[in-house]
A and B are shown apart, each in its own frame.
Chain A
Amino acid sequence: MAVVVEHTAFERALAAKGIAHDRGELRGYASDASFLTLGVPSLVAFPKDEAECVALVDLAVRHGTPLVPRGTASSTAGQSVAPPEAILVDMERVGACDRRGHRRDLFAPLVVDAKGDPVDLAKALPEDELYLRAGAGRTSDEANRALRRFRWSVAVTPSSGYSTFGGNFATNARGSGTPAYGAFGESVRRVRIVAASKEGARSLEVADREEVRRIAGHHGLCGLVTELDVRIAPILQAQEMLCAVLMIESADVEALGATVGALMKRVAAACAYYAGEFLFIDGGIVRPDDPVRKDPVLGPYFEVRPGVRRMVLLYRGRTEGMQALPGIAAEFPQVSYREVTFPEFQAMMRVRTAATGKSVARVNVPGCEDFLIRDPALFGRVLVRMFDSLAGAEGRPVGHHYPDGVVVHYRPQARVTRASIEEAWARNLRLRDAVLRPELTVEDRVEHGLGLRLFHDAPPERQEELRRLKASYDPANVFSPHLLDLARAGEFVGRRFTI
């Protein structure tokens, strides 16, 4: 079963340079959160800083050994799984370690302005354009903890607060944070990247805004990102914001989706919102003993009548930018509207965030769950196809309402058995066939969607752009070369489960 590739010389070289690595029992590195696998990697390296990344890339070019960078968190599409001939490079420690090489999650933030000059955050004004200069192994949770005392936070908060900035950039993630700032790549002003030449490693600083945006979403093809300048924004105080919960329910999913799509169009045109989220409520979305069910304001949202689909939308934004929202909601008599406190909004957001991955005694089986609907008017048609595909299955669609469209996530949930996981995976593929159609949705440069299917599913212009970037940053073709191989498909790790 296992393909073992000896990397003895490489390993010796890593040891000589003091770069942490593992060549022991590596079955636990066979997959990322996608449950996709290309086999068990033969070696895993854990560089701690740019110097070690340079040494690693030098070695890779010299040995002709592929490197597959991995951040931390979900990587739900297989882009960070490594085939046995490659070395998996865990980037989680890069720029986040103390002098001993231990990861420290508390750190003092270095903030710079748009020119890259250091700024005293305590003296900054809310309208200042500021960036946190951070190692690729840092996360928004850590960054927000460091920035909180100054009342600032990372501008674009990806779905996973514990995902590393380098990974957010490589996947061009965006999440439930601040749609006003776009995807993660749009919030980055400058990156340092260890790229390759045919002779060895090259440390590059990319400060051109357009180039930064082009390489955002490179999925590890261009090199090892080591440092980023990440846009930060002032934290809104509770009294400055409007938080609202909108609800609609119907047995007719297409009509429900069409109504919501129309409402979303109006909201996108008339409101400046910092968070726009939606979720379908079902019996399994929170545990029976979850306190939210007993909350006098929020509890009723979880009482769903049989035979209907209930959808909840959550919007939050600065009060002056949200003044049109109550009026828009009133235009849709099917939609109930309620303003809630920020803590209540946060409680609903916790449900929303967990909704893709939380169900008692189940795993979710991701892989192709991001569908971007550019025209919300198509929302109803997409939902019909989704619910048809997941008939009889557990889990529910959730997603984001961004100004440029609606992103829908759905991960089939499975019991932790081989058969159940395989069934969920098959459903995933059916769902993909049903929904990922040019006339309905695109699977674009977002965090969950492409991975191993990067070159199968990306629009041709993006494929072309990635090939050009690859040739420019990695002429030695050492970074994730398997992603360019159209014939190579990942296996599904569930087939190997012995549970």
Chain B
Amino acid sequence: MSEAASVPAEVGGARANPSLGVLTAEGCIQCNKCTFNCPVHRVDVLFSPRKVILQSYLGGADAVSERDLWACLTCGECQAACPTQVPYPAFIRAQRERLRDEMVRAAPCKHGGLKDVLAQIMAKPGLRQDRRQWIGDGLRVADSGEVIYFTGCMPYLDGVFSYCDSAEIGRAAIRLMNAAGIVPVVANAERCCGHDALWNGKRETFETLARANAEWIRGSGAKRLVTTCAECYSMLKHEYPKAIGPWEGIEVLHMSELIAELVKDGRLTLSKPVDLTVTYQDPCRLGRHSKEYDAPRAVLAAIPGVTFVEMDRVREASMCCGVGAYSNCDAQTKFLQQDRLEEAASKADHLVTACPHCRIHFSCYLDGKPVDALPALKIVDLTVLAAKALG
């Protein structure tokens, strides 16, 4: 005690450690609500955001174990529940960035390594891509126009996650836009949005990608930037403006927002009944990170024949799909997914999500060997479901 008391208050601390500044900007009151709401804590009792924060306040931020640093899903359940809104995911992100070079761990989980490489390739100058191969006949896209469809890494995902047909989401998005008279731009100049790079501590890669994307988007003359991916959405809408300045005259939309708007304005009619009982998974990046809870539900309400049943943990209290930014995927992930899918299966036979990555992570779990038997449950993307209702 006496040793500690003799340490001047100014020594070390937030100025020396900017990650700590993230925590102190909103003071933690140690109420433990974060830990209690943390999905990881449910399966790993030793993992505790509250514990890490107090440890950091006591000068042990850099002693946070690599396990604790990488086990965090950055899903934001902790922050949503926090009475003082301590931005724990931002702290983890800053610590990952700060300690990146000192850590034993070289890459995120297996598939994360692949995405890591993909992002690094896309950050290279002079990259040439054909990003339209997946589109297929009968769908109209353009080289220029008012609406850009930012596809994200979706065209590349099917090479790895073959059980998902992620390109189906893109085709459904274009079908819906075409049906509303929109011919979207799908650009070969598009690069990875940088989501995983940013959340896994590689800010430089993220900023390179953000600059490259901003350059062609700003030069395109488009007014709207639409994406079907919740991760891309959170980057384009919230992180890009911080990194490359505000989007002057360009509006960023998640596809669910566009569909809801088109339906409301009478520009899109969803008339064909889709007789399914569905429930909805709020993706972390669309929900807690972006506060968009209503548009996906409005889309579900607009699809004839759909019976929508909410799960018990929804909106701000929604449970993560188990993987965040591909930084983690282990046995505990599987237990979380089992928990969430049991909840979904108790409500419906189709789980709808508005993020291709939630879809992949849940589908991956179902494609493997679930921890316990689950009733038949299909994971469906919201955009794909909406496109089924086109007459």
Contact = CB atoms under 8 A, between A and B. Distances in A.
Contacts of B46: 20, 22, 24, 46
B5 A106 contact: no
B58 A25 contact: no
B32 A33 contact: yes
Nearest to A494: B57
A307 B356 CA distance: 55
B48 interface: yes
Contact of A103 (B42, B60, B83): B42
A24 B65 contact: yes
Interface stretch (A190-198, A265-273, A360-368): A360-368
A498 B29 contact: no
Given A416-B27, A499-B13, A499-B24, A73 B32 contact: yes
Contact of A72 (B9, B36, B60, B81): B36
Contacts of B106: none
B339 interface: yes
Contact of B339 (A104, A362, A495): A104
A361 B60 contact: no
A72 B32 contact: yes
Nearest to A353: B83
Given A73-B36, A416-B27, A498 B51 contact: no
A137 B312 CA distance: 19
A260 to B, nearest CB: 26
Contacts of B42: 102-105
A363 B55 contact: no
A495 B8 CA distance: 10
Nearest to B332: A102
Contact of A495 (B5, B13, B65): B5
A317 to B, nearest CB: 26
Interface string B25-63: 111111111011100011101101011111101111001
Interface string A421-449: 00000000000000000000000000000
Contacts, number: 144
Contacts of A353: 83
B271 to A, nearest CB: 34
B14 interface: yes
Nearest to A40: B58
Contacts of A103: 41-43, 45
B33 A418 contact: no
Would you call the interface of chain A mostly helix, strand, loop, or mixed? loop
A499 B65 contact: no
Interface in A337-364: 353-354, 357-364
A30 interface: yes
Would you call the interface of chain B mostly helix, strand, loop, or mixed? helix
A1 interface: yes
Interface in A89-146: 90, 92-93, 100, 102-106, 139, 145
A105 B3 CA distance: 42
Given A162-B81, A360-B26, A28 B45 contact: no
Nearest to B28: A363
Contacts of A491: 1
A46 B36 contact: no
A102 B335 contact: yes
A364 B29 contact: yes
A250 to B, nearest CB: 29
A319 interface: no
B60 A25 contact: yes
Contacts of A90: 45
B188 interface: no
A32 B84 contact: no
Nearest to B60: A27
* Cβ-closest 6 pairs across A and B: A28-B51, A363-B27, A498-B59, A28-B55, A416-B24, A418-B9
Interface of A: 1, 20, 22, 24-25, 27-33, 35, 46, 72-74, 90, 92-93, 100, 102-106, 139, 145, 160, 162, 353-354, 357-364, 366, 414-419, 491, 493, 495-499
Interface of B: 1-5, 7, 9, 11-14, 20, 23-33, 35-37, 41-43, 45-46, 48, 50-55, 57-60, 63-65, 81, 83-84, 312-313, 335, 339, 343
19 contacts: A22-B46, A31-B30, A31-B54, A33-B31, A46-B45, A72-B35, A104-B339, A106-B312, A160-B31, A353-B83, A357-B84, A361-B27, A414-B27, A416-B28, A418-B9, A493-B58, A495-B1, A496-B5, A497-B9
Given A73-B31, A496-B4, 19 more contacts: A1-B4, A22-B46, A27-B54, A30-B54, A33-B31, A46-B46, A73-B32, A74-B32, A92-B45, A100-B335, A106-B339, A160-B33, A353-B83, A357-B31, A357-B84, A361-B24, A418-B9, A419-B9, A499-B20
